[in-house]
Amino acid sequence: MKRVYSDLDKIEQYNPLPAGLMVADSRISGQGIFTTKRLVAGTELGISHYRIEGELIRTPLGGFINHSGTPNCVRNQIRIKPYYDKWNLVVIEDIEEGEELTLKYTWYEPTS
pLDDT tens profile 36-85 = 999 999 999 999 999 988 898 999 999 999 999 999 999 999 888 787 89
Q: What is the pLDDT of residue 4?
A: 64
3-class secondary structure, 61: helix
The residues, any chain, with a CB within 8 Å of residue 33's CB and separated by 6 or more, are 17, 21, 22, 23, 61, 64, 65, 66, 100, 101
Q: What is the pLDDT of residue 65?
A: 93
Q: What is the pLDDT of residue 1?
A: 64
Which domains does the chain show, CATH number per domain?
A: 41-105 (2.170.270.10)
Dump pLDDT digits (tens) for 1-10: 676 656 666 6
Furthest-apart CA pair in the chain: how many Å?
A: 57
Closest CA to 90 of 80, 107, 104: 104
